[in-house]
Amino acid sequence: MKQKYTASIWQEDGWFIAQCVEVDVASQGKSETEALDNLRDALELHFTPPVATVAPQLRSLEIEVRAAEFQQL
């Protein structure tokens, strides 16, 4: 069964990074094409059994962020 995924690609220090938007999998290559090919391989490996028996749970967190207090001299 074929499945389509979306890749975000950017360049960093001479490498192209390809990250799957739907699944937390990424890879790199010396060109965009190589990065995408490597991501394709990484995704195939990710979905090759054995797979996790328990799906991870996502939770939302709420935190309070306070601005730093500046002292006057």
Mean pLDDT of the chain: 89
- For residue 8, pLDDT over 90 is answered with yes
Q: Is the pTM of this model over 0.85?
A: no
From CA 34, how far away is CA 21, in angstroms rounded? Answer: 18
Say which residue, 16 or 64, is predicted with more confidence.
Answer: 16
Question: Band of the pLDDT at 38, cuts 50, 70, 90?
Answer: very high
Q: How many CB atoms lie within 10 A of CB 56?
A: 7
Task: Provide DSSP, 28-43.
Answer: EESSHHHHHHHHHHHH
- Parallel, antiparallel, or unpaired for β 7-12 and 26-29? unpaired
Closest CA to 5 of 51, 36, 31: 36
From CA 42, how far away is CA 65, in angstroms rounded? Answer: 37
